[in-house]
Amino acid sequence: MLLAVDFQSDVPIYIQLKQQIIEGIARGRLAEGESLPSVRQLAQDIGINLHTVNKAYSLLKEGGFIIMDRRKGAVINTRQAMAAGDCREKLRDELAPIIAEVFCKGMKEEELIQEIARIYKSFSEDGKHGL
Amino acid sequence: MLLAVDFQSDVPIYIQLKQQIIEGIARGRLAEGESLPSVRQLAQDIGINLHTVNKAYSLLKEGGFIIMDRRKGAVINTRQAMAAGDCREKLRDELAPIIAEVFCKGMKEEELIQEIARIYKSFSEDGKHGL
DNA sequence: TCATCTGTTATATTTATACTATAACAGATG
DNA sequence: CATCTGTTATAGTATAAATATAACAGATGA
């Protein structure tokens, strides 16, 4: 899978990597059991330091998205393992400021939900091919 | 309106202020035409530097949420007519990583939309009292 | 066995951002 | 005229991001 890092972004590189890999899993481009490049390889490919990649992998491991295997490297975990833990509260804290802003800007509930549904479906439909 | 700053949070103080004020507008606790405290007053109340408050106000002004008036200070702006196209793209960029994560964790579309609707309604219902 | 790859850890440095501190200026207020 | 306002400038400190090297133990394949 191709990872594109924006060095001008105010989003830290290790966060960009983490997000893109999670999106890759959601879209089925990274299937369960598949291996990610080694921290050194990926760092070299992108042109960044291996510690930056390692930080992204550590977050993914912490979130249950990957498992570190001494032989196979970073392996995409099972969906069941990813589902562990409740994410509702974290989700609300992340969404509230975003929704408040578009609410003030006059976006209607139906428009917002339509936008959400569109993003969600973009994952589930891509996933059909990957799984 | 009461502003509660979490000094332990990894979210910068000026972002917390901005978000809470936008939420205050969304919930109708800050009505159109109402004035916010002066940067010096608010900074003293919270116990932070006036520049931190000023940064939050600058972002709110930039986003069209308030208007700086030499006499009345920071005044809550009239509900903005949404610049639809511009807002949508930013919205998608912010939502995609969040939705990808809960998608991987197995949250169904209906659950997600229900959660979104709940947050949205919490604004529109609070707004009934304020407006 | 041995060279090579792996993740992991440690330490140090540079850079950027967040926050604070102090000061000053121009416009508005009473 | 003293006092408040937002705004700007400058400088300092603290923390986080990213880099640069280095080393270690486990695993791999020749």
Residue-level pLDDT at A53: 97
- Of A9-13, B30-34, B123-127, which has the strongest mean pLDDT? A9-13
Domain ranges of chain B: 13-76, 84-130
**Residues B76/B30, Cβ–Cβ less than 8 Å:** yes
Instruction: State, as a whole number of angstroms, the distance between the CA of A27 and the C1' of D25.
Output: 36
pLDDT at B80 over 50: yes
Interface check for B11 against chain A (CB to CB < 8 A): the answer is no
pLDDT at B131 over 60: no
Residue-level pLDDT at B128: 63
Mean pLDDT over each residue of chain A, to the nearest integer: 93
- Strand C: which bases are under 7 Å from protein Cβ? 5-11, 17-22, 27-29
Residue-level pLDDT at B20: 97
Residue-level pLDDT at B130: 45
Hey, CA dihedral for A17, A22, A25, A31, is it positive or negative? positive
**Residues B27/B130, Cβ–Cβ less than 8 Å:** yes
**Residues A48/A15, Cβ–Cβ less than 8 Å:** no
Instruction: State, as a whole number of angstroms, the distance between the CA of A43 and the C1' of D20.
Output: 14
Whether B109 sits inside 8 A of A96 (CB atoms) is no
- Strand D: which bases are under 7 Å from protein Cβ? 4-10, 16-21, 26-28
pLDDT tens string B99-108: 999 999 999 9
Percentage of chain B exceeding pLDDT 70: 90
Q: Please report which confidence band the pLDDT of residue A80 belongs to, taking 50, 70 and 90 as the band edges.
A: very high
Residue-level pLDDT at A128: 64
Residue contacts between A and B (CB atoms, under 8 Å): 117
Which residues in chain A have their CB less than 8 angstroms from residue B115's CB? Answer: 88, 91-92, 95
∠ Cα A68 A19 B16 (to 5°): 120
Residue-level pLDDT at A129: 55
Instruction: State, as a whole number of angstroms, the distance between the CA of A71 and the C1' of C5.
Output: 10
The nearest alpha carbon in chain B to A111 belongs to: B88
Interface check for A50 against chain B (CB to CB < 8 A): the answer is no
Q: Provide CB contacts within 8 A for B118, sequence distance 6+.
A: none
Backbone angles phi, psi at B39, to 5 degrees: -60, -40
Mean pLDDT over each residue of chain B, to the nearest integer: 91
Which residues in chain B have their CB less than 8 angstroms from residue A83's CB? Answer: 105-106
pLDDT tens string A9-54: 999 999 999 999 999 999 999 999 999 999 999 999 999 999 999 9
Least confident of A17-26, A80-89, A121-130, B9-18: A121-130
Please give the Cα distance from A121 to A95 (Å, whole number).
18
Domain B13-76, CATH: 1.10.10.10
Instruction: For residue A16, give the nucleotide whose C1' atom is nearest its CA.
Output: D17
Please give the Cα distance from B45 to B28 (Å, whole number).
22
Nearest-CA residue relative to C1' of C20: B49
pLDDT at B82 over 90: no
Q: Which long-range contacts (CB under 8 A, 24 or more apart) does B11-15 make?
A: B13/B48, B13/B52, B13/B56, B14/B52, B14/B53, B14/B55, B14/B56, B14/B59, B15/B56
| CB < 8 Å from B in window 89-118 of A | 91-92, 94-107, 109, 112-113, 115-117
Residue-level pLDDT at B5: 97
For A13-82, CATH number out of 1.10.10.10, 3.40.1410.10, 3.20.20.150, 3.30.70.330 equals 1.10.10.10
Mean of pLDDT values over B119-131: 77
Hey, CA dihedral for B114, A113, B63, B90, is it positive or negative? positive
